[in-house]
């Protein structure tokens, strides 16, 4: 099966095309949002050179204190967090795996309780996201706070936060980074015409709306090399009240610009549910992938409610070069070995996606112990 064949993208040599999608699990050590031994064990279980993922994309990882939007998500902006991540990447590499860090700023999807000095979250608009988040160990859902609209002169500082986080990632032993431009967090909020209320030169026409996300991508590429940087988008998502009048055009132009930078991969959430898939996927996604590659970008990585069979078929038909799986990796630490054997697969338990213990985290059985 082609899905089991190696794939080299930019500076990343991956042993198979069964990548692990970024998955927030809210199990960092608190206070401090620091990765801990339990997190290292979880990632190492999924990193085995034979049985594990060709490339693990870490859970979304805030680049600065204002980048946090959910309780107990591990950051990459303090020395303690960097040291915590080093234990994770060491454990992954010992098992023969590879791991990149998903760099995150939530923008308006946050709460004053998680922000420095109890300030409002920051965003390219001052409108409430109508999203829910959780702000303490009870994991109870609360409404996101109404954001404060950013000033243009604050943006260079945020670009710097991303670049410094990328450099910290390399020091922490990551093989690269994925910039989180998806799911209507900060970069996506700038990109979409229904969400960006910034003045010139960061708001208005598409070229302006892409300026900040592209500055972030360029700064990360300058910091660690474009061949170690990927970018995630979700062009047809309606998550967190996402609005864009023409996602096909918006994200094709973004993809071409990222391709010109020579980024290693572009990763798209095509859908969360294939039974309700947006029919535009059939045309919009190939156009975006082509724009990225024609401009000089590396691989196109697909994600979203894929079965193993569909994933392999899409790789063989050149729709994509690799597929990132989310929930399958939550419940199958040896997912690649299971694919090789034709299954069976453990079912995931949604109730333990975000609860803070080892239950539903490191206790899913591998085949040998099943």
Would you say how long the chain is, in residues?
370
The C-alpha atoms of residue 209 and residue 212 are separated, in whole angstroms, by 7
Per CB under 6 A, which of residues 142..201 are in contact with ligand FMN?
A: 180, 182-183
Q: How far is the CB of 61 from ligand FMN (least distance, A)?
A: 8
Q: Binders of ligand FMN: how many residues, by CB under 6 A? A: 22
- Tell which one of 128, 305, 355, 362 touches ligand FMN (CB under 6 A): 305
Match 């500076």 to its residue by tokens.
11
The C-alpha atoms of residue 109 and residue 143 are separated, in whole angstroms, by 9
- Over the range 14-51, which residues count as b (16 or more CB within 10 Å of their CB) and which as e? bbbbbbbbbbbbbbbbeeebbbbebbbebbbbbbbeeb
Stretch that binds ligand FMN, among 5-13, 205-213, 241-249, 298-306 (CB under 6 A): 298-306
Nearer Cβ to ligand FMN (19/212): 19
SS3 state at 176: strand
- Contact map string, positions 212 to 241, toward ligand FMN, x by CB under 6 A: --------------------x---------
Q: How far is the CB of 117 from ligand FMN (least distance, A)?
A: 25
The C-alpha atoms of residue 191 and residue 203 are separated, in whole angstroms, by 9
- Contact map string, positions 92 to 111, toward ligand FMN, x by CB under 6 A: ----------x---------
Stretch that binds ligand FMN, among 142-150, 188-196, 254-262, 326-334 (CB under 6 A): 326-334
Stretch that binds ligand FMN, among 6-14, 131-139, 169-177, 323-331 (CB under 6 A): 323-331
Distance of CA 332 to CAs 326, 328, 346, 363, 366, Å? Answer: 10, 6, 6, 10, 7
Query: Measured at CB, which residue is nearest to ligand FMN?
Result: 326
Backbone angles phi, psi at 327, to 5 degrees: -60, -35
The C-alpha atoms of residue 300 and residue 317 are separated, in whole angstroms, by 13
Which distant-in-sequence residues (6+ apart) come within 8 Å of 161 by Cβ? 63, 64, 67, 77, 105
185 an active-site residue? yes
DSSP character string of 81-107: HHHHHHHHHHHHHHTT--EEEEEE--T
Catalytic choice (185, 202, 306, 354): 185
Nearer Cβ to ligand FMN (198/324): 324
Is residue 304 within 8 Å of 310, Cβ to Cβ? no
Q: How far is the CB of 2 from ligand FMN (least distance, A)?
A: 18
Nearer Cβ to ligand FMN (272/313): 272
Distance of CA 255 to CAs 4, 159, 248, 252, Å? Answer: 27, 19, 10, 5
Nearer Cβ to ligand FMN (101/159): 101
Nearer Cβ to ligand FMN (174/306): 306
Verify binding: residue 303, ligand FMN, rule CB under 6 A: yes
SS3 state at 161: helix
Verify binding: residue 364, ligand FMN, rule CB under 6 A: no
Verify binding: residue 301, ligand FMN, rule CB under 6 A: no
Alpha helices in 261-354 (DSSP H): 281-294, 308-316, 327-331, 335-341
Verify binding: residue 331, ligand FMN, rule CB under 6 A: no
Verify binding: residue 21, ligand FMN, rule CB under 6 A: yes
Per CB under 6 A, which of residues 71..90 are in contact with ligand FMN?
A: none
Cβ-count burial of 317 within 10 angstroms (0-12 exposed, 13-18 middle, 19+ buried)? exposed
Nearer Cβ to ligand FMN (183/198): 183
Verify binding: residue 23, ligand FMN, rule CB under 6 A: yes
For ligand FMN, the binding residues (CB under 6 A) are 21-24, 59-60, 102, 180, 182-183, 232, 269, 272, 303-306, 325-328, 353
Name the residues annotated as catalytic. Answer: 185
């Amino acid at each position: 099966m082609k899905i089991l064949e190696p794939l080299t993208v930019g500076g990343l040599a991956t042993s198979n095309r069964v990548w692990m999608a970024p998955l927030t699990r809210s199990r960092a050590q608190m206070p401090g949002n620091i990765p801990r031994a339990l997190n290292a064990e979880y990632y190492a279980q999924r990193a085995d050179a034979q049985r594990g993922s060709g490339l693990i994309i870490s859970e979304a990882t805030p680049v600065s204190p204002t980048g946090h939007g959910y309780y107990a998500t591990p950051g990459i902006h303090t020395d303690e967090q960097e040291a915590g991540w080093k234990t994770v990447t060491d454990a992954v590499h010992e098992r023969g795996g590879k791991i990149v860090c998903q760099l995150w700023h939530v923008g308006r999807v946050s709460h004053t309780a998680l922000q420095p000095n109890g300030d409002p979250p920051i965003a390219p608009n001052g409108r409430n996201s109508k999203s829910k988040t959780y702000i303490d160990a009870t994991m109870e859902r609360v409404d996101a706070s109404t954001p404060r609209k950013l000033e243009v002169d604050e943006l260079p500082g945020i670009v710097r936060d991303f670049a410094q986080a990328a450099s910290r990632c390399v020091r922490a032993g990551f093989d690269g980074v994925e910039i989180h431009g998806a799911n209507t967090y900060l970069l996506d909020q700038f990109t979409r015409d229904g969400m960006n209320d910034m003045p010139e030169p960061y708001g208005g026409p598409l070229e302006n709306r892409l300026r900040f996300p592209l500055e972030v991508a360029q700064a990360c590429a300058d910091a660690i090399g474009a061949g170690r940087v990927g970018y995630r988008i979700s062009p047809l998502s309606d998550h967190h009240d996402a609005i864009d009048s023409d996602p096909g055009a918006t994200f094709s132009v973004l993809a071409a610009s990222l391709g010109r930078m020579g980024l290693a991969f572009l990763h798209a959430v095509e859908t969360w549910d294939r039974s309700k898939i947006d029919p535009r996927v059939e045309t919009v996604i190939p156009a975006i992938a082509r724009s990225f590659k024609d401009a000089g970008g590396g691989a196109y990585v697909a994600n979203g409610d894929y079965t193993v069979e569909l994933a392999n078929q899409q790789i063989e038909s050149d729709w994509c070069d690799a597929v990132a799986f989310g929930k399958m990796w939550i419940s199958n630490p040896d997912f690649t070995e299971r694919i090789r054997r034709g299954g069976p697969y453990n079912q995931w338990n949604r109730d333990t996606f975000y609860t803070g213990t080892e239950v539903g985290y490191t206790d899913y059985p591998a085949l040998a112990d099943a």
